[in-house]
Structure 1
């Protein structure tokens, strides 16, 4: 799973054996012949052309042996080897928001994914690691380690998330798994907007 940023005026083509989620961060993106308004999302398949009038965030899922793309106008942000859940899968892109001071209970999700902060400031505890996440930064969650996120911005936070999930969650079913019964009883304090899902 790899996150890229596509700069204005660049045009790229999706690689073989991949599926991608696109988030139009600034300006309009165009995937094949589909126009994606700012703050909107779409999916792209192998061979599709992608361009942006401003800045598009590309989340590409491909074979483990695929090389990192280094093309004019396309900047790699984060890349990780991910273990997909067994069985049929969906690729989901959503947007998650939280209010100042909100903290998630310890949890994991039912599949791996990359997140990228749109606005605010976030403390992310992922397994045994701690990161201070600023706008534009990305982080990876395997779905196997416990995670706690805390909004430390003093205002609203927002991030985009792309996950590989079991197909039984299609239609917006939650992928959230609390780390303990105590955590399950805590408020989640997150606003989730599904931007798209695709069977893969």
Structure 2
């Protein structure tokens, strides 16, 4: 059993500027590093663009280009504030579920005009658009999501995502989920039977999972 409740944590995403001289990133919890451009060296291992690696605690990062850090950390810890690190968004997590949990990182891509069914997820998470443009219906709100924009979903709000770009759209997502979903089991929850029968119209690439 985890020592803190889910509501005692926050989920954040940061921009990281990569430098040829590796530096230590003093992350306070578990997370995921996604290389948005260039090439990174993470704790001595090379990570190519459009790939990533799970991390836990402080890690060494160098290379060229830039990366995104998704961090799951206690709210008692301050957000990272160092040279070369820029906070994009940070959200305290709702008490979506109790018990053992995992952090999952994946990439979701859709074709032009594709729309998801009305749905939720088994846990909260942050998404950040890598390319393209989306229209997101989240609860009673509607947002246009442009490339580089990050947004938070509680998991309990009903959502529709529509690709409104003339080419493929893709986002990188990190969610906190019940441990029973480990191994890539879908977190998708259709709003009703009619929505469950609709095609999801997206493709997934799982980067990895770790217990948190």
With the length of structure 2 as denominator, give the TM-score of the two structures. 0.89
2: CA distance, partners of 1:30 / 1:129: 39
Provide the secondary structure at the position in 2 that maps to 1:72. coil
Structure 2: gaps of 5 or more residues: 1-10
- 2:99 is aligned to 87
- 1:184 is aligned to 196
**Out of 108, 124, 128, which is 2:140 matched to?**
128
Alignment RMSD? 1.4
Deviations 1:71-115 (A, max 9, x none): 111111111111353111111111101111001111011111000
Provide the secondary structure at the position in 1 that maps to 2:92. coil
Deviation at 1:47, TM superposition (A): 2.3
- 1:104 is aligned to 116
- 2:18 is aligned to 8
Structure 1: gaps of 5 or more residues: none
**Out of 147, 151, 165, which is 1:153 matched to?**
165
- How many residue pairs were aligned? 199
Deviation at 1:36, TM superposition (A): 1.1
Provide the secondary structure at the position in 2 that maps to 1:101. coil
Say whether the 8 Å CA contact 1:14–1:45 is kept in structure 2.
Answer: no
Which portions of structure 1, spanning 4 or more consecutive aligned residues, are displaced by more than 6 angstroms? none
Say whether the 8 Å CA contact 1:97–1:192 is kept in structure 2.
Answer: yes
Say whether the 8 Å CA contact 1:6–1:51 is kept in structure 2.
Answer: no
Q: 1:40 to 1:162 in 2, by over 3 A?
A: same
